[in-house]
Structures are given as C-alpha cells and as structure tokens.
Structure 1
Amino acid sequence: MIERIAQEEVQRIEDLARATWPDTFKEILTPDQIEYMLNWMYNVDTLKEQISKGHEFYIYKDQEDLGFIGLEPNYEGASKLRIHKIYVLPAAQGKKVGKQLMDFAEKRAQELSLACLNLNVNRYNAAVDFYKHIGFQITKTEDIDIGEGFFMNDYVMEKAL
C-alpha cells in the first residue's frame, strides 16, 4: 500500500533514508558525504519545509515501511513531476517496491496533467539502468557543489508521458 505522509509523519521518511543510504551509496560516496547529505536533505525540519512548499511524500508499506518517494509537481514552473527522492530498503529491493513507487509517480503526474517525469540520479548508481529500463532517458549531466567540498555527480533523466 502507498500512503501519503503528512508533515507530522516525516520522521518515517528520515528513518527510511538512514536505513537505505549507507547500503545504496557505500560504493559511490564516502561515509562522510553520506552523513552530510542525510543531515542536509533528510532532517525533519527540511522535510517539513518541503511539504509546506508543495512537495508530496509517499511511503510504500507492507506491514512495515519498505520505501518512499518524494515528488514535486510543476517542477521549475514546467509541466514536470520531479522525483526528488526514491529509496527502498535493501531487504525489499528486487521485490517490485521501486517499480510500484515509480508507477505511482507516473499515475500522479497523469492526474495532474503533467507531461513528464524528471529526476536526478548519481551517474554511478545502479538505479540508472532501472530508470532506463522503465523508459527514462538521460537529458544531461551535471556536477552540483553541495558544500563542504562535496559534489553530486548526476544525470538528469526524464520520461515523457
């Protein structure tokens, strides 16, 4: 089941991020960068602020929280649904949780009459192949300075709807 998360429930998102990031990024990022990014992007105050600005967070739950997705409708004023965050617990990977969250995002975009899905993904993340498999294309490469000497080395990917 996929359920929308209210501001007072964002601790669940932070908990899932902290449970997924170390395994997801252990071969790509240093432990220091993982911790820096978790503290920067997934603290409760930041998540609450994002909801107040129109972001939507959803959790996939099957007896326990297994994964989540963060969406921003009309990203940068365009007809895009931005997928800012999507992570699945390591134990739930390969069980279609990520696919169901992505299908949900596509349906949400269609409900909002948006033309495409848009996301950033680390260029070395295995998820790049998953996104390609479900119809995303790389539209550009970017290196984003996030402070403290850390960078996000990403692909921007889109899927037309």
Structure 2
Amino acid sequence: MFQIRKADIADIPVINKLAWATFPETYKDIISKEQIDYMMDWMYSPENLRKQMEEERHTYYIAYEECEPAGYVSIQPLDKDLFELQKIYVLPYYQKSHLGRQLFEQAVNAIRELHPEPCLMELRVNRNNRALGFYEHMGMRKLREDDFHIGNGFYMNDYIMGLDILPAKD
C-alpha cells in the first residue's frame, strides 16, 4: 500500500530525482534525447520546480512505499472551472501496482477539495504515449489535438484529454 502526501519546497530534490528516473524512460522511444534533456530542464530543474510551486500554483503529491518515493502527480488551476493534471509519473519498478490509479484519484480528489463545484480536468498526453490507454481507462476522453511549440525548435504533439469532475457525493 502506498502513502501519498502533499509536497512542499523541501521536496523539490525528491521530485527532481523521481523525474530523472521516470520521464526519460517514458519518452525515450517517442522524442529525441535532445528534446528530453531540454524538457527535463524546462520542467524539472530545481529552479523551475520552485517557480511552479511558488508562482504557477502547481500542487505536487508524492507517493511513498514505506519510506521510498515511488511516484508523483501535480495539478494546476488554469481557469475558474478548469484544472490541468500537469504530471503523473510512477517509477518503472512500481508500474502495474495500481499506483498510477491511486495518484490519478489523488489528483481528482485534490481538485474536488479546491473546487467543490463541477469542473473539468485536462491533461496533455503525447499522441504516441503508451499511457493513453490508462487515461481512457480512468474515464478521460480526447477533446482535441495540439502541436505545442515549447522552445528551442521542439514541439509537444499531444492529445488534450478531459475528465468532468463532479462534486463528491456525501
């Protein structure tokens, strides 16, 4: 069983370490090593993680098996009734242990706590990412496609997926 807790600034090194163990592995057959390196700096450098948490209102949660970090998820409010599931990654060793589902549910429940009214959670997922089936299994639907320029000549070729989040039933 995994324990999930909200991360704070002191957890940036843990998130960074988890990112280096998950992100390159996830994308090694989808995008170039150069783009992976660029995106790791863009999204996971300690400075950028701090900026996400302090200025861009990202909320991170880290999953632990006993004392070992095993994965993480982050959410971000984008608009009045719109949130983005920014990141969700599980160490390869823990994949197939239902931790992805647990982290996904943590994101949904956190959004419900922040915003008790009906809203939409969106997610960007690379069109060639194997996790696409997982998100569909979790109830997300493809809303649209986007080829998003991230700088340095690199693009993210994504589906934007959505999940309607309704208030929790008492």
Q: Structure 2 length as normaliser, TM-score?
A: 0.90
Does structure 1 residue 56 correspond to structure 2 residue 67?
Answer: no
Q: Paired residue for 2:89?
A: 87
Q: Give the alignment's Cα RMSD to 1 decimal.
A: 1.1
Q: Which residue of 2 aligns with 1:135?
A: 139
1:69 paired to 2:73? yes
2:102 aligned residue: 100
Structure 1 residue 81: Cα displacement: 2.4
For 2:65, the aligned partner's letter is D
Identical counterparts, % of pairs:
36
Number of residue equivalences: 159
4+ long deviations beyond 6 Å: none
Query: Gapped runs of 5+ residues in structure 1?
Result: none
In the alignment, what sits opposite 2:128?
Answer: 124
Equivalent pair of 1:84/1:120 in contact (CA under 8 Å)? yes
Task: Select the residue among 13, 32, 49 that pairs with 2:15.
Answer: 13
Work out the CA distance in 1 between the residues paired with 2:81 and 2:88. Answer: 20
Structure 1 counterpart of 2:62, one-letter code: I
Task: Give per-residue Cα distances to partners, 1:81-110, cap 9 Å, x unaligned.
Answer: 211111111111110111000011111122
TM-score w.r.t. structure 1 length?
0.94
Which runs of no fewer than 5 residues in structure 2 stay unpaired? 166-170
